[in-house]
Amino acid sequence: MSRFDEQIDRKNTDSVKWDSIEETYQATDLLPLWVADMDFLAPSPVIKAFEEYSKKGLFGYSIIPNSLYQAVIDWQKRRHHYLLEKADILFSSGVVPSIALAVQSYTNEGDSVLIHDPVYHPFAAVVKENNRNLVRSSLTTENGHFQMDLAEMEQLIVAHAVKLFILCNPHNPGGRVWSKEELLAVGKLCQKHGVTVVSDEIHQDLVFAPHTFTSFQLVDPSFEAFSIVLTAATKTFNLAAIKNSMVFIKDPTLREQFQETQKRTMHGEINTFGYIGTEAAYNQGEAWLEELLPYLQENIQFVESYLAEHLPAVGVMSPEGTYLMWLDFSSFGLTDTELQTHFIEKAKVVLNSGIIFGSKGTGHMRLNIACPRATLEEGLARIVHSFN
Ligand SMILES: Cc1ncc(COP(=O)(O)O)c(C=O)c1O
């Protein structure tokens, strides 16, 4: 038995995933397989680091310790061959807040910002909330996997004078880990048209062999001049609550612009628990991650074989990374509202409705498989039963 098989009662812990659904759906018997956090305990060295800090009872303003910078530098070098210096690293209270800071730093109101369709839904929200013009390029599906449509992207970049492209690598919700060749092609396109790239790499550590993750900045040395990378330990180690992330900016001008926005919006200071959790996770969490990855992979295989056997009408996109699965229910002929209602009222399982990720998400649902296998099996059984 794996440590990840333990079914932990997350109810009444103020969890968005578990404790918000009763009010939203007026039901108490729903199984949540939605929000992208995991139903697993955090690595014990991280829990211990929080305990040690709390025990002292000293919660005054804190500096960012050099040991944290070193932990980030070591992790990126060891896991991703990405060489960083202290000066390249900024800290932030989250990847999504960092996307907002980037949009404010590198574009003006009314400027066009390009994202894919479908993609992690806060990308569109950040662009719209900041009064920028949202431009979306559809991903196509080839051999059961998403592909970028470079011709369409170029046409949109030119037609809308796009200033910024927000890339999601690995891709949420499709689980694509973009190859070096794909990143080179999209990077060259952005370079050619003077488009700054914000690369959201928060899922970088959750990648399954034989697939390998390449940071956008490692694709070509010239890419450092027009891109920034956002990542965090929070997705990898299930620490979303600590609100901590990193921004890697090699280009001095891009870095100054970002820091200026941080200063102007008073976004420079981060919760100390964020620093402590990130440092402990990177320095002492690797063994936990190495156990997690095969467990997630087995969960993915479990879903694939379960649905192939019991509900083959569902299209399953096999993820190369992330713990999210993109499921196609379009063959059932339901509208997006009907599909969502079916899941809540008949299946009694909460998934993310595909349509929130963009118009290409119609007829789809996003399943979070980062839970004990028994929980996953219960969820799948409910879904299968509801459709049969
Ligand atoms: C692609 C992507 N970016 C960002 C986030 C959230 O980042 P944060 O909690 O640091 O704002 C998520 C969470 O699911 C995500 O999938």
Tens digits of pLDDT across the chain (388 residues):
999 999 999 999 999 999 999 999 999 999 999 999 999 999 999 999 999 999 999 999 999 999 999 999 999 999 999 999 999 999 999 999 999 999 999 999 999 999 999 999 999 999 999 999 999 999 999 999 999 999 999 999 999 999 999 999 999 999 999 999 999 999 999 999 999 999 999 999 999 999 999 999 999 999 999 999 999 999 999 999 999 999 999 999 999 999 999 999 988 788 999 999 999 999 999 999 999 999 999 999 999 999 999 999 999 999 999 999 999 999 999 999 999 999 999 999 999 999 999 999 999 999 999 999 999 999 999 999 999 8
Same domain for 323 and 277? no
Mapping DSSP to helix (H, G, I), strand (E, B) and coil, where does residue 198 land? strand
CB 10 within 8 A of CB 39: yes
> SS3 for 136?
strand
Residue 347's domain is classified under what CATH number? 3.90.1150.10
Q: Is 119 in the pocket of ligand 1 (CB under 6 A)?
A: no
CB of residue 245 inside a 6 A radius of ligand 1: yes
**Is 234 a pocket residue for ligand 1 (Cβ < 6 Å)?**
yes
From atom 16 of ligand 1, which residue's Cα is the shortest distance away?
Answer: 172
Do 232 and 95 contact (CB within 8 A), yes or no? yes
* Same domain (yes/no): 210, 175: yes
Amino acid in position 370: A
Do you know the residue count of the chain? Answer: 388
The residue whose CA is least distant from atom 9 of ligand 1 is 94
- Is residue 51 a part of any domain in this protein? no
Annotate 291-322 with b (16+ C-beta within 10 A) or e (fewer).
ebbebbeebbeebeebbeeebeebbbbebbbb
Q: Whose CA is nearest to atom 7 of ligand 1?
A: 95
Candidates 217, 227, 221, 218; CA nearest to 253 is 227
* Residue where the block lists tokens 């038995």: 1
Within a 10 A sphere around the Cβ of 335, how many other Cβ atoms? Answer: 11
CA 313 to ligand 1 centroid distance, Å: 30
Same domain, 304 and 243: no
pLDDT of residue 267: 86
Give the β-pairing of 196-200 and 364-368: unpaired
User: Do 199 and 225 belong to one domain?
Assistant: yes
279/312 same-domain check: no
The ligand 1 atom at the shortest distance from the C-alpha of residue 37 is 14
Could you tell me if residue 48 is inside a domain? no
- Compute the distance from residue 37 Cα to the ligand 1 centre, in Å: 10
Q: Do the domain assignments include residue 168?
A: yes
C-alpha to C-alpha distances, 119 to 82, 170, 227, 356, nearest whole angstrom: 25, 11, 19, 9
The finding on whether 244 has its CB within 6 A of some atom of ligand 1 is no
| Domain region containing 208 | 60-284
246 lines ligand 1 (CB under 6 A): no
Find out whether the beta carbon of 199 lies less than 6 Å from any atom of ligand 1: no
Q: How far is the CA of 205 from the centre of ligand 1 (A)?
A: 13
CA 57 / ligand 1 centre spacing (Å) = 31
Flag whether 54 is in a domain. no
Ligand 1 pocket residue status of 172, Cβ below 6 Å = yes
Q: Would you say residue 265 lies in a domain?
A: yes
What CA–CA distances, in Å, run from 170 to 90, 161, 335? 21, 26, 29
Cβ 120 under 6 angstroms from ligand 1: yes
* pLDDT computed for residue 82 by the predictor: 98
Whether 112 is covered by a domain: the verdict is yes
Which atom of ligand 1 approaches the CA of 168 most closely? 1
Angstrom distance (rounded) from CA 94 to CA 203: 13
pTM of this structure: 0.98
Q: Residues 235, 89: one domain?
A: yes
First and final C-alpha spacing in the chain: 32
